[in-house]
Amino acid sequence: MTIERMTTSEQQHAGVRRFENLDAFKAAVGTELGTSEWLTVTQEQVNMFADATGDRQWIHVDQQRAAAGPFGGTIAHGYLTLSLVPTLAESIYTIDGLAMGVNYGADKLRFPHPVAVGSRIRETATLTAISDRGTGTEAHVKFVVEIDGISKPACVVDVIYVLAAA
């Protein structure tokens, strides 16, 4: 599985919310940043994640056994869903003029509903808090990953980034 990053022109075409600089992003605190494109979760992705992490629990990789299990088929790892948050975010927003942006941590992580293989997921991002710190700007973004046709979210997480202007 290859995940290709969107080019600037692809982001503009896809309706990505573009912030011209870090100050413009800071001004968006308290607002919803947008909703991503849909992404279909495949068995290949699940298998590759299992290989990378060593988590080969049957509910993820044994399609035959999982078909008779509690979910009626294989499901994605919760941490696979979490790991797709940054990729999905690329179709929501981008900030120009950054020297760097790094993950600092995550709060309030939960997985209310499993993601069945073959399901489509997307996420909504909200900039909930922002503050200056010695090493840059700390931004808190709440992501809610939804599953097409399911009322409960797949993943809810408050991600904390440290951003530095160029």
pLDDT at position 1 over 50: no
Strand ranges in 9-116 using DSSP code E only, listed in sequence order = 17-19, 32-35, 39-40, 93-95, 98-110
Residue that the structure tokens 């020297």 belong to: 99
Query: What is residue 139's predicted lDDT score, i.e. its pLDDT?
Result: 98
Q: Where are the domains of the chain?
A: 30-165
Distance, in Å, from the CA atom of 12 to the CA atom of 109, rounded to the nearest integer, reads 30
CATH class of 30-165: alpha beta
CA angle 30, 34, 40 (to 5 degrees): 140
pLDDT at position 6 over 90: no
Nearest Cα residue to 104 out of 124, 123, 131, 144 = 131
pLDDT at position 32 over 70: yes
Query: What is residue 134's predicted lDDT score, i.e. its pLDDT?
Result: 87
Residue 75: count other Cβ atoms within 10 Å of its Cβ: 24
Query: What is residue 130's predicted lDDT score, i.e. its pLDDT?
Result: 98
Query: What is residue 15's predicted lDDT score, i.e. its pLDDT?
Result: 82
Q: What is the pLDDT of residues 52-91, one digit of tens each?
A: 999 999 999 999 999 999 999 999 999 999 999 999 999 9
Global pTM? Answer: 0.90
Nearest Cα residue to 58 out of 80, 48, 73 = 73
Residue that the structure tokens 């896809």 belong to: 14
pLDDT at position 2 over 80: no
Question: Can you state the percent helix, strand and coil of the chain, rounding each to 5?
Answer: 25, 40, 35
Residue 109, SS3 per DSSP: strand
Query: What is residue 56's predicted lDDT score, i.e. its pLDDT?
Result: 98
Instruction: Go through the chain and tell me how many residues it has.
Output: 166
Query: What is residue 14's predicted lDDT score, i.e. its pLDDT?
Result: 58
Q: What is the pLDDT of residues 117-162, one digit of tens each?
A: 999 999 999 999 999 998 899 999 999 999 999 999 999 999 999 9
